[in-house]
Amino acid sequence: MIDRSSTFTGQSEVQGDPHGEVFDLVGIGFGPANLALAIAIEEHNESSPGDEVRACFFERRTEFAWHPGMLLEGSTMQIAFPKDLVTFRNPTSSYSFFSYLHEHGRLVDFVNHQTFFPTRLEFQDYLQWAARRVGTEVRYDADIVAVEPLHNARGSADLFTVRAADGSVVHARTVVMGVGLRARVPSWATESSRCFHNHDFLFHLEEMPSPVHQRFVVVGAGQSAAEVVQYLHANYPQAEVHNVFGRFGYSPADDSPYANRIFDPEVVDELHSAPLEERERLLALHKGTNYAVVAPELIEALYAAEYRERVRGPRRLFMRRASEVLATTETSTGIEVEIRNSLDDSSDTLECDAVVLATGFEPTSLGSMLGDLAWNTPVPPVARDYRLELPAEIAADVYLLGGTEKTHGLTASLLSNAAVRAGEVLSSVLERRLRGQSVERAEIGELDRIPSQHTYATSEAR
């Protein structure tokens, strides 16, 4: 938890007199994005005595977890394992997936397995291992609610106050937002123990009343939807599973090598500097690398299961194509789901035990946390180094790890570029600190020029 003894009064904030802890960098959220940054900071601090970055990360969970509600048995990663927390930034790091395997005595067995795509269960174990090892400070059970500039008497601010839900605060020169995405819930849905987003799927299943109708509806046609369909079909052997989606059928994920280059670290340069319309055109064209698509093996497995049922019955798996849910009504024993087929405009109502909303994610709105620092434009004003453009009187920095798809491309919310991006953000933080120190010294006559760029290890390819 944040040090409660450091709670501010409004008066001291206006005077810009930070009581309590002051960090060079505070990270908000401790998922893979900020974990990769914490490792980069640790490696920098070890190799650069005297130039350390004093950092602290705050996470609202009580321990590290990576989408625990979707750790379905057998589900695999959608990226190749070398796109781990470090390898593309520092292939010699002791935090690589290979190091993890070696430490757990599975390196040879994994190689014999001949796959680039570990299970999500194993990758989450890798991430947890890295989170336990990292020496950079992490405080769990800390829900951050506000980031506010700490104005000094001259009206400028070179620190932020970072405030937690319990009222406690710390201060930092740099704040890095790594808060992930939030679940997208359709307007017709009222969330309950029978109607829930797939993000916390396994936890909701535990809480769901015992099935009476032996019927589920899953809404959506992306990877998560297909995984949930497969899971329910396998784990509730008496139940029907109806997958409702607007498409005609699942579309396969495009992970062919040329298209996959859209996730390359150096492509961020090209996309960020391209005109907005061109970036939008390319991202729309290549949406199929990530959005509303399903791994081809899973499509085939589901089709085979449905076909087996057509041969020998009974039918339990139903693809409700070109369809949408119009409304749901909870009853004493379940939930009624009204489904409309848009091809013939027919509709029917199913009595179900639960509706799973595999309806995707959207960027977390930072408005309530950042207040006046937040933007109100459709595209966030974010520089190539992931730094948010702020008013001139604020000399402190906010970086966005995530939510920058419109400026930096498809990797913004994924793991693909987490390692390199962490290195780039750290380079920028170090460079700006050096420039700040130089300007200060120049102001008191010690220096007459600002030093050249401070670069920290980034991608080998860069």
Judged by beta carbon, residue 184 or residue 247, the one nearer ligand FAD is 184
Nearer to ligand FAD, 334 or 402 (CB): 402
Least gap, CB of 100 to ligand FAD (angstroms): 16
Name the minimum Å distance from CB 256 to ligand FAD.
17
CB atoms within 10 A of CB 394: 19
Nearer to ligand FAD, 41 or 335 (CB): 41
Distance from C-alpha of 440 to C-alpha of 427, rounded to nearest angstrom:
20
For residue 117, give the amino acid letter. Answer: F
Burial class (CB in 10 A: 0-12, 13-18, 19+), 437: middle
Distance in angstroms (rounded) separating the CA atoms of residues 78 and 98: 18
For 168-179, the DSSP string reads -EEEEEEEEE--
70 close to 171: Cβ distance less than 8 angstroms: no
Say whether 71 sits in a helix, a strand or coil.
coil
Shortest separation between residue 50's beta carbon and ligand FAD, angstroms:
30
Q: What is the amino acid identity at position 7?
A: T
Q: Kindly state the DSSP code that residue 385 receives in the 8-state scheme.
A: T
Q: Answer for the pair 35, 130: CB distance below 8 angstroms, yes or no.
A: yes
Question: How far apart are CB 79 and ligand FAD at their closest, in Å?
Answer: 4
Smallest gap, in angstroms, from Cβ of residue 295 to ligand FAD? Answer: 10
- List for the chain the helix, strand, coil content (%; round to 5): 35, 20, 45
Binding residues for ligand FAD (CB under 6 A): 28-34, 58-61, 66-67, 70, 77-79, 143-144, 178-181, 224, 401-402, 413-416
67: left (phi over 0), alpha (psi -120 to 50) or beta: left
Residue 308 CB, shortest distance to ligand FAD, in Å, is 27
Q: Which residues pair with 181 in a beta bridge?
A: 363
Strand, helix or coil at 119? strand
**Strand 169-177 and strand 335-341: pairing?**
unpaired
Shortest Å, Cβ 439 to ligand FAD? 32
Q: Which is nearer to ligand FAD, 150 or 415 (CB)?
A: 415
Q: Which is nearer to ligand FAD, 328 or 416 (CB)?
A: 416
Nearest distance from residue 70's CB to ligand FAD, in Å? 4
Would you say 18 or 180 has its CB closer to ligand FAD? 180
Q: Considering the complex, state which of residue 87 and residue 224 has its C-beta at the smaller distance from ligand FAD.
A: 224
Sorted by sequence, the CB contacts under 8 Å of residue 80 that are 6+ apart come out as 116, 117
- Using the minimum distance from each CB to ligand FAD, give the nearer residue, 221 or 350: 221
